[in-house]
Structures are given as structure tokens and as C-alpha cells.
Homo-oligomer: A and B are copies of this chain.
Amino acid sequence: MDAAEFRKRGKEMVDYVADYLEKIEKRQVFPDVEPGYLRTLIPDCAPQDPESFEDVFKDIEKIIMPGVTHWHSPYFFAYFPSASSFPALLADMLCGGIGCVGFSWAASPACTELETVMLDWLGKMIKLPEEFLAGKDGQGGGVIQGSASEATLVALLAARTKTIRRVQSEKPELTEADIMGMLVAYASDQAHSSVERAALISGVKMKSVSSDDTFAVCGSALKKVLDEDKASGLIPFFFCATLGTTPCCSFDKLLELGPICNKENIWMHIDAAYAGSAFICPEFRHLLNGVEFADSFNFNPHKWLLVNFDCSAMWVKKRSDLIGAFKLEPLYLQHHHQESGLVTDYRHWQIPLGRRFRSLKLWFVLRMYGVTGLQEHIRKHVRLSHQFEQLVLQDERFELCAEVVLGLVCFRLKGSNELNKALLKSINDAKKIHLVPCHLREKFVLRFAICSRTVESTHVKFAWQHISQLATELLKTWEQKHQQQ
């Protein structure tokens, strides 16, 4: 395929993508296929000779689409949103065309520098303390990670190295392995599984801190477990606070937790993967109060800020802490400008070496929506979740399971977990909308997350009517079964 054919086919693909997104509402949100469906539809091995674009193109509808879960359907209310917008798609086309690999400043200066400046823009939008910004000569700064999991891992590794160095300077008789065996990381019992995973990867212990009745960790809960662990000779070194937990979007109490972490030499990382985007609205910014105590902060514009996956924004107060955890310099990666204070080599900030030009997506989206456009997007989603909340509240068969703060509603039928599992199954089997569940304490709970960029009040109303009707049918047969037993 030469450039001339790419011009033709690229334009066809633009139309295909535009059609797909314009008419996505007509597709069944969750596919009908069974595991293994795809292997039966395509050959056993790659073709020896080239096939035409037409051949490949017609297979998209035949082979791929029947197995796609349509994350951008307005009937998709599962997990958390994954962002999609036209400006981001355009930026990704440019990113692919340039195709640079920006692991160091020299590998493509624009790729590194735009990222630093965009993370400053974004940091200012959520009013991060200035220490987290790179500015012209700051000690902090931001980086785009692939996912919040990576941000948590990188923060934990930086904390691990920093703590090992500190403890070794205080107690030179201890080996690195001794210290590793004593380190403990903490997060809420509501925290994302990626925190436990980061500890597993890094080879350190991790403990859950009990959340309170609002599913938030408060200062006294953390203090209690720290005191116990210190008394038994362990070294607490890392706490991951969550703003907007995955099960029910609860918020750990930063203003209580931060001072404790600072006093105890514990690195506080904040995972606001989903909720962080909301902090661009002044009415939600108070949820971030206490960030001034943190060492690192992360949220995912690829969730809720209309920047297509992947774009996970992470900031640190001291970039030297991150770099210190990783820095290794083979000659083929050194370059002329390296010693200048202005130069950032992002490979020292992340797990992979290579990196795409992802800041283009931020640049396009922030400019083409403007802050006000992005605020409107957030506010619409929050409005829709409150609409759903009201619908739940008006039906006394149902109960809400957690406060609705942003775009997530946790709800269930008053009744057993089995009943609610049956309800979820009937919802997802019908495939008109798509939801996933969570556990809150012992309760099996349905999560209704406002996800799609194009979701409107009518979709929410439809979803509720559908759920309500399925509940009516379910309760009828459920009572019959119960009577028979």
C-alpha cells in the first residue's frame, strides 16, 4: 500500500469510524458470541501473499464487530467510562503518522516537551499545588503513564527505593533484603486491585485499611494499623489513598490521612483514576483538598476527560524520587543535552522504555473543547447519575447502597444477594444495557455508571424502565419459587 492508496483507504476508514460512532446506538451493546467464536471464522495461519484492503475491510463487520462490547454505546453503563472524542481520534492519527518513540528528550524533543507542558496545563485545571508542576525549573512535574496501575506501581517503587536508602543510612547493619522483608504498603479495603498487584510485583507486603460506613478510610483507621505494624517491627512506607473508589466512588479522607503519612515518612500516593477529571469543576474541587500532603497524584483523562485510552496523568512533587528508582544509562540512550536541568528523559519515569506521542491527544482535546466544554461533559454525567438516583429512590423495592457523588449509582433490590445476582443476570442476558456488579461489605450490588459521551436523559430513563420491568418479572417468579420451596 502506497501513500496514494492510504489517502483513499484512510478516508474510507474515517467514514467507517464516523458511521460506527454515529449509529452505535443501534448495535446490541454486548455481543452474542461464545468463547472461541473467532478462531472458527478465520484461517489457521497468515496468508503467504498480500490480500487486498477490501478483503480485510469487509471482515471487520463479519469477524470483529460480532464480538465487540460497545463501550461507547449510550446503553453501556459498566465499569467506568472509557473516553472517546473526535479531537482525540484526530490526534492519535497524527501520533501514528509521526511514529516517534519518545523515550528520551533527543529521541523526539517535541514529544517530551509537549507532554511536560500539557501536564502543567492539566495540573492547573484541577488546581494542583504548584509543587506538582514542572514550570520552568520546578522539582516536580507530570508524565503520561499507560494506566493507573502503572502510576501506582511507579509511585510504590519510588517510595520503596527512597525508604530503603533512608533505613540503610540509619541502620547500616540491615541488608536490602532485610529491609524489603519489613516494608508494608497500605490502601483501603475498597482500593483497586492494582495496589495489591503493585505490592506483589515489587515484592513487598501490603495490608488493607478498613474503610468506614461511607466506604472511606479515615485517619484513625490508618493510625491504628500503623501503630500495630510498627510495634511488630515492620516499616510502613507507602499509602495509596483513593479518590473515587471503583466499587462505589467513595473518597478517602485526605485531610486526616495526609498529615499522618507526612509525619510517619510514608509516601502518600493518590489514585483518582476515575474521579480526578471532575476536579476541573470548582464545585467538585473540594474533594481533592489534602492533595498538598501527597507525594504523587494520578488520574485518567482516558476515563472521563474525553481523551481516548491510553492517557493516565501522574504528577510527583520530586521528580528526582522517580528517577532515582530507575535510572540506568547505557551509552546508546545517552545524548548531548542530558545534563541540562531543562531536559526530561521520560524513560526514567515509567516501566516501559518506548512511548508514543500521547500528549497530542491532550493538546487537541483541551484546545478543541476548552475548559468550559470539558466541564459541561462532566456536569452532564453527574446530572444523569442523579437522575437515575431519583428513579431508584422513587421505587421502594430498591435501595441505594452508597452516596452518589459523581457519575456512579450503586443500588440493589431490597432482598438477598441471590435475588440481586438474578436481577443482574436478567439485565445482562437481555443485552439492552450492560452493567457490572460489585460487593459492598457482604452485599452484592449493581453499579450503574454513566459512561458514554453521547448518553442522554432518554437513555437513562430507558435503562431504568427496563431494569424496573425485569425486576417486576423476576420478583414474580422469585416469589413463586419461594412459595414452592
Contact = CB atoms under 8 A, between A and B. Distances in A.
A68 B14 contact: no
A89 B371 CA distance: 30
Which 5 residue pairs across A and B have the least CB separation, nearest first? A177-B181, A67-B110, A17-B97, A10-B14, A203-B203
Interface in A279-296: none
Given A67-B111, A180-B203, 12 more contacts: A11-B14, A13-B14, A13-B93, A34-B337, A38-B114, A39-B117, A48-B370, A49-B371, A83-B99, A147-B354, A150-B352, A336-B428
Nearest to A197: B328
Contact of A93 (B14, B146, B202, B332): B14
Report the copy number of this chain in the oligomer: 2
Interface residues of A, number: 154
A417 to B, nearest CB: 11
A389 interface: no
A136 B38 CA distance: 11
Contacts of A67: 108-111, 113
Given A48-B370, A105-B35, A368-B50, A447 B354 contact: no
A46 interface: yes
Given A38-B110, A108-B71, A333-B193, A46 B366 contact: yes
A332 B437 contact: yes
Contacts of A366: 46-47
Do most interface residues of chain A lie in helix, strand or loop, or is the interface mixed? Answer: helix
Contacts of A85: 1
Given A117-B38, A201-B351, A86 B6 contact: yes
A33 interface: yes
A457 interface: no
Given A18-B10, A69-B109, A107-B79, A153 B351 contact: yes
A354 B69 CA distance: 14
Contacts of A373: 49-50
Contact of A114 (B64, B202, B354): B64
Given A3-B22, A11-B14, A147 B343 contact: no
A430 interface: no
Nearest to A246: B332
Contact of A7 (B14, B46, B342, B370): B14
B331 A368 contact: no
Query: Which residue of A22, A100, A340 has the most chain B CB atoms within 10 A of its CB atom?
Result: A100
Interface stretch (A120-128, A259-267, A379-387, A475-483): A120-128
Interface string A9-39: 1110111111011100000000101111111
Contacts of A351: 149-150, 153, 201, 351
A393 interface: no
Contacts of A51: 367-368, 370
Interface in A210-263: 246-247
Contacts of A328: 193, 196-197, 200
